[in-house]
């Protein structure tokens, strides 16, 4: 891969090809920098409070028209969007790498996830099924129908700048809603690109109501306007548990719907029968991939004492040799952290671990010689005697805490003894352990895997987690129900008016 002469020029050209209006990325108040080398690549304009409110009002109007379009036709718009994404995959994937620092295969993988959810949503547009329910009254029919909510507000995190939004949007649109999206303030460019791509699909569709999909740029203040607006029926917010603690109660205050997708502190249990080489690869990708910046990144490893010495030396060697570099100019497997704050948080967690007497392998900044700044770090393994201190919290960086266990029950107890409940794995060839892990008394997470890592979910399953991860579900399975309101209809086609439960109210 050739190093671009100027990343800003490269980015401007890329955004132009993707259809983004040049005026949107020049001369604004907010500097956008690339974590790959710390350089400024664009300046975007934050939306004012009045502009955000106007976008919500327009979305509300659009939703009133859109809800009357039959669902399979709404699916046609999403089908066209999927086609446009296929055409834009290389450019949008590269933009993800520039704006977030993901290695090329992960940038492209994110766009593939968008394409996959579009395909899923197109099928879904003919399957928004309700139930027919037996009624106790003669000459009556009872059924369940599903209806659009209105405006869906999407607040997204920096680390999946486009995929998570597309999970929400593809479903929200086929379900008959309008969408207002506030991307992370760290990733406005990919959001503007997605909007431009969506507009191409809308044009081919023959036009859509104005305001059906809009992007509003800014920091949390913009998100708060969406959270507090009575015109936003559902807010789907992805980010830290800290953000969820602020957003959740505000939405509850006005009885609004919410889908909260918050932090994770994901663990894997390595049992005596584990296939060690397979475990090694799964742990390496789960813990070091995306530089530890996935909500599902593997952060805790609970290893049986009999296989500790078979696994740990191989793992330490993998950590010491993994390639770290600029994802735009090298074939490295690990790119940069998003910014200085992320680096400082990693350093603090490692310092706290050392104070506890932990054995630390790796950590610290790596000079990748790319002429810029960028926070490139060596992923770290922290071996502890017990699960304590920083191991109990999510640090959004490539730190893998490792502890030993002897009894499976203790491993399970340790596994579930943290606040977050997103993703989990067990590595075992023992059927009893595998079944127990995925049973009622096993993992308390939204995702529980056997012999694969904690990260890299497919769109077909419902995605989300329990406890401090917020309880929301997005993407596949029946997650679409979160974007609609359920109605129970009872229809009397008889000549009598029997009351339920045998109640009589005879006016004589």
Q: Which is nearer to ligand NAD, 160 or 405 (CB)?
A: 160
Kindly tell me which residue out of 34, 47, 63, 159 binds ligand NAD, with binding defined by CB under 6 A.
159
Q: Which of 176, 181, 151 is nearest to 165 (CA)?
A: 181
> What is the contact mask toward ligand NAD in residues 169 to 208, using x (rule: CB under 6 A)?
-------------x-xx-----------------------
Name, in order, each residue with C-beta under 8 angstroms of 186's C-beta and a sequence gap of 6 or more: 32, 99, 100, 158, 338, 339
Q: How far is the CB of 308 from ligand NAD (least distance, A)?
A: 28
355-358 long-range contacts, Cβ below 8 Å, gap at least 24?
Answer: 356/384, 356/388, 356/389, 357/385, 358/382, 358/383, 358/384
Q: What are phi and psi of 124, to 5 degrees?
A: -60, -30
Is 261 a residue of the active site? Answer: yes
239 scored as a contact of ligand NAD (CB under 6 A): yes
Residue 231's SS3 state is: coil
Question: Does 110 interact with ligand NAD (rule: CB under 6 A)?
Answer: no
Q: Which is nearer to ligand NAD, 223 or 289 (CB)?
A: 223
d(CA 304, CA 273): 10
Residue from 66, 81, 120, 158 binding ligand NAD (CB under 6 A): 158
- Residues 378-417 as x/- pattern, contact with ligand NAD by CB under 6 A: ----------------x-x---------------------
User: Please, what is the minimum distance in Å from the beta carbon of residue 269 to ligand NAD?
Assistant: 21
Cα angle value 43/46/52 (rounded, 5°): 150
**Contact between 167 and ligand NAD (CB under 6 A)?**
no
Residue 325's CB: how many other CB atoms inside 10 A? Answer: 21
Q: What is the DSSP letter of 23?
A: G
* Active-site annotation holder among 99, 295, 383, 445: 295
Cβ distance to ligand NAD smaller for residue 10 or 474: 474
Burial of 365 (0-12, 13-18, 19+ CB in 10 A): middle
- Supply 489's token pair: 């209809």
By the rule CB under 6 A, 30 interacts with ligand NAD:
no
CA 479 to chain centre: 14
User: Is 295 noted as a catalytic residue in this protein?
Assistant: yes
Residue with tokens 């939204």: 446
Look at residue 401 and give its three-state secondary structure: strand
Choice between 164 and 334, CB closer to ligand NAD: 164
**Number of residues engaging ligand NAD in binding (CB under 6 A):** 31
Angstrom distance (rounded) from CA 500 to CA 488: 15
Residues 261-290 that bind ligand NAD (CB under 6 A): 261-264
Using the rule CB under 6 A, is 240 a contact of ligand NAD? yes
Residues of this chain that interact with ligand NAD (CB under 6 A) are 155-160, 164, 182, 184-185, 219-220, 223-224, 227, 238-240, 243, 246-247, 261-264, 295, 394, 396, 422, 465, 469
* Residues acting as catalytic residues: 261, 295
């Amino acid at each position: 891969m050739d190093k671009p002469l100027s990343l800003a020029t490269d980015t401007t050209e890329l955004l132009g090809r993707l259809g983004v209006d040049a005026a949107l990325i020049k001369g604004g108040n907010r500097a956008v920098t690339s974590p790959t080398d710390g350089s400024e690549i664009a300046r975007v304009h934050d939306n004012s409070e009045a502009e955000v409110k106007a976008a919500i009002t327009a979305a509300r109007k659009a939703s009133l028209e859109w809800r009357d379009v039959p669902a399979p036709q709404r699916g046609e718009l999403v089908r066209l969007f999927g086609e446009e994404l296929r055409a834009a995959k290389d450019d949008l994937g590269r933009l993800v790498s520039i704006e977030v620092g993901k290695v090329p295969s992960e940038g492209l993988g994110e766009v593939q996830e968008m394409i996959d959810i579009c395909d899923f949503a197109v099928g879904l547009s003919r399957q928004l099924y309700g139930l027919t329910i037996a009624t106790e009254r003669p000459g009556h029919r009872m059924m369940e129908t599903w209806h659009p909510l209105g405006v869906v507000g999407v607040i997204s995190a920096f680390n999946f700048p486009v995929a998570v939004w597309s999970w929400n949007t593809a479903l929200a649109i086929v379900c008959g809603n309008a969408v207002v999206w506030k991307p992370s303030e760290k990733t406005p460019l990919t959001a503007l690109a997605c909007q431009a791509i969506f507009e191409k699909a809308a044009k081919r569709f023959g036009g859509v109501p104005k305001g059906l999909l809009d992007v509003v740029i800014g920091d949390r203040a913009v998100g708060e306007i969406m959270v507090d607006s009575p015109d936003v029926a559902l807010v789907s917010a992805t980010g830290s548990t800290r953000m969820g603690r602020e957003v959740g109660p505000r939405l509850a205050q006005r009885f609004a719907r919410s889908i909260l997708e918050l932090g994770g502190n994901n663990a894997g249990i390595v049992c005596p029968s584990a296939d060690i080489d397979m475990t090694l690869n799964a742990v390496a990708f789960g813990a070091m991939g995306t530089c530890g910046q996935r909500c599902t990144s593997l952060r805790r490893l609970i290893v049986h004492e009999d296989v500790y010495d078979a696994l740990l030396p191989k793992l330490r060697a993998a950590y010491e040799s993994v390639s770290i570099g600029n994802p735009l100019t090298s074939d490295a497997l690990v790119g940069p952290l998003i910014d200085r704050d992320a680096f400082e948080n990693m350093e603090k967690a490692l310092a706290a671990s050392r104070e506890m007497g932990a054995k630390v392998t790796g950590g610290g900044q790596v000079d990748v010689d790319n002429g810029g700044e960028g926070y490139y770090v060596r992923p770290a393994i922290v071996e502890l005697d017990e699960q304590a201190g920083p191991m109990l919290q999510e640090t959004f960086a490539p730190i893998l805490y490792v502890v030993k266990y002897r009894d499976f029950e203790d491993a399970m107890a340790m596994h579930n003894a943290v606040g977050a409940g997103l993703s989990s794995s067990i590595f075992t060839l023992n059927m009893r352990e595998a079944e127990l892990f995925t049973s009622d008394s096993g993992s308390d997470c939204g995702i529980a895997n056997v012999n694969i890592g904690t990260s890299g979910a497919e769109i077909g399953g419902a995605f989300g987690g329990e406890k401090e991860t917020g309880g929301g579900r997005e993407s596949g399975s029946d997650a679409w129900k979160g974007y609609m309101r359920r109605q129970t209809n009872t229809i009397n086609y008889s000549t009598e008016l029997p009351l339920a439960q045998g109640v009589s109210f005879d006016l004589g």
